[in-house]
Structure 1
Amino acid sequence: MTTTKESAVSGRPLIGVSTYLESTVSWGVWQLPAALLPAGYPRLVRAAGGLTAMLPPDDPAHAAAVVARLDGVVVAGGPDVEPERYGAVRDPRTGPPARERDAWESALVEAALASGTPLLGICRGMQLMNVALGGTLVQHLDGHVVRTGVFGTHAVKPVPGTLYESIVPDASTDVPTYHHQAVDRLGRDLVVSAYAEDGTVEALELPAPAWALGVQWHPEMGEDARVMAALVRAAS
């Protein structure tokens, strides 16, 4: 893996991105368990001026050592966070647990916050940031501005004076989205920095001096690199 020292020499910060973990993936003649990352993530990091390191699930005890080698951390989208992690009874519409990812990515969030490493949570990543800081989730959205469970676009509006608003100052921005769950009670010290038209929390963040931002949508599915570019600048 490229070290932080090497990334500094290249002038491109090293951004670690957590991965999916699938029990069976097919390619060629192979059908094997795999840690994988949709190509949109490294494409977006590259467009923003960074280098990508994949962070497959590992022993949570190693998270701080891994984060120490990185300039920034992205917790990617994926399956539902296990509701037991925030003290909720499982809704029958909640997906199957992904305990290895939950444990590993929670440790990455905690290590990034403890070390002051810039942190970006995307969709599930934003929800996990909220849970890691003691918040809770809505396990299934009904009547959202886009149909739940399908890809679409909808508008988000920034909250004035927030980090997100300084990155994307547009009064309203259409974003690529796939919604199933959402933030309910906010975690410790988190503030909302963008909403959908129906009031759904679409971005949250920690106040300065921390650089920790979560977005509910999927910037890797679009062409707007401003949020990732802001992470890369912070990581520089």
Structure 2
Amino acid sequence: MSAPVIGLTTYREQARWGVWDQPADLLPTAYAAAVEATGGLAVLLPPLDQVGAADAVVGRLDGLVMTGGADVDPARYGAEPHARTAGWRPERDAWELALLDAAGAAGLPVLGVCRGMQLMAVHAGGALDQHTPDLVGHEEHSPGGDAFGRTAVRTVPGTLVAGLVGERLDVACHHHQSVATHPGWVAAARAEDGTLEAMEVPGDRFCVAVQWHPETAADVGLLAGLVRAAASYAAGRDA
């Protein structure tokens, strides 16, 4: 059986490398490295604005990772921007929402990471808490700059997430927003302060989202689970 192909959504930002300073489609290498380490083949999916593009892309994938990034546009869930909400990218939101539509129709395995979890909740008709420190009274989920916060989470017994990562774990977080409502999803893990840190869609399909960054950890159980689900998806599709 060939390795499953896993799509990774990307940023589109002004970037500098070598002699260049121009718009670029990019993603931290840790994502692709984690997919490769768990037996998948990683491909990058920059934002596209073409009719039918999401369906065409999903038709060539075995799994999908909705990666981290900037805040989701609050207009997507009918809210005014909080003073700390910034940097949303309408073209990325539109592209990733279209990918989620196509992935849902195809039954494609999906893993959401950080912003990915938030966008998946919004896609389902949910809403976000735009600045989590207002609720929990601390900055531990995102201590600032390029530093990850360390957060202790407890998983919900019987969930797929619990089966993949265990009852308790310390995770690397970098989020100042969090999921407030998530229609159709079940809570799969929470931080000690009550923040929702993971959710999943009930049923047989692998559709999981976490607020933490599993690609940064030595134990990449979530990505390994996605790659296994993607391999099964590919085998069923090709049968």
Give the structure-2-normalised TM-score. 0.90
Structure 1 distance, partners of 2:130, 2:107, is: 30
Within 5 Å, give how 1:44-63 maps onto structure 2: 44-59=34-49, 61=51, 62-63=53-54
Within 5 Å, give how 1:127-166 maps onto structure 2: 127-142=118-133, 143-144=137-138, 146=140, 148-150=142-144, 151-166=148-163
Number of residue equivalences: 224
1:76 match: 67
The offset of 1:88, in angstroms, is: 0.7
Q: Which runs of 5+ in 2 are unaligned?
A: 232-239
2:16 match: 26
- TM-superposition CA deviations, 1:141-192 (whole Å, max 9, x none): 11247153432211111101111111112x21011111210000113x1111
Q: Is residue 103 from structure 1 mapped to residue 109 from structure 2 by the alignment?
A: no
- TM-superposition CA deviations, 1:74-126 (whole Å, max 9, x none): 01000000000000111111012200110001111111111100000000000
Q: Is residue 184 from structure 1 mapped to residue 180 from structure 2 by the alignment?
A: yes
The offset of 1:64, in angstroms, is: 1.1
Assess if the C-alpha contact under 8 Å between 1:145 and 1:154 holds in 2. no
The offset of 1:209, in angstroms, is: 2.2
Which amino acid in 1 is paired with 2:165?
A: V
Q: % of aligned pairs identical? A: 51
2:76 match: 85
Assess if the C-alpha contact under 8 Å between 2:141 and 2:176 holds in 1. no
Which amino acid in 2 is paired with 1:88?
A: A
> Secondary structure of the equivalent of 1:43?
helix
In structure 1, which of residues 192, 197, 212 is the aligned counterpart of residue 207 of structure 2? Answer: 212
- TM-superposition CA deviations, 1:36-68 (whole Å, max 9, x none): 010000011011110001000002631011001
Assess if the C-alpha contact under 8 Å between 1:155 and 1:175 holds in 2. yes
Structure 2 distance, partners of 1:97, 1:235, is: 30
Structure 1 distance, partners of 2:171, 2:55, is: 32
> Secondary structure of the equivalent of 2:75?
helix
Assess if the C-alpha contact under 8 Å between 2:5 and 2:63 holds in 1. yes
- TM-superposition CA deviations, 1:171-218 (whole Å, max 9, x none): 21011111210000113x111100000110000110112210000001
Q: Is residue 121 from structure 1 mapped to residue 112 from structure 2 by the alignment?
A: yes
How has the CA–CA distance of structure 1 residues 190 and 233 changed in structure 2, closer, same or farther, with 3 Å as cutoff?
same
Which amino acid in 2 is paired with 1:194?
A: A
Assess if the C-alpha contact under 8 Å between 1:137 and 1:183 holds in 2. yes
Which amino acid in 1 is paired with 2:92?
A: R
What is the aligned-residue RMSD (CA, Å)? 1.3
Give the structure-1-normalised TM-score. 0.92
> Secondary structure of the equivalent of 1:208?
coil
Assess if the C-alpha contact under 8 Å between 2:142 and 2:149 holds in 1. no
Q: Which runs of 5+ in 1 are unaligned?
A: 1-7
> Secondary structure of the equivalent of 1:95?
coil
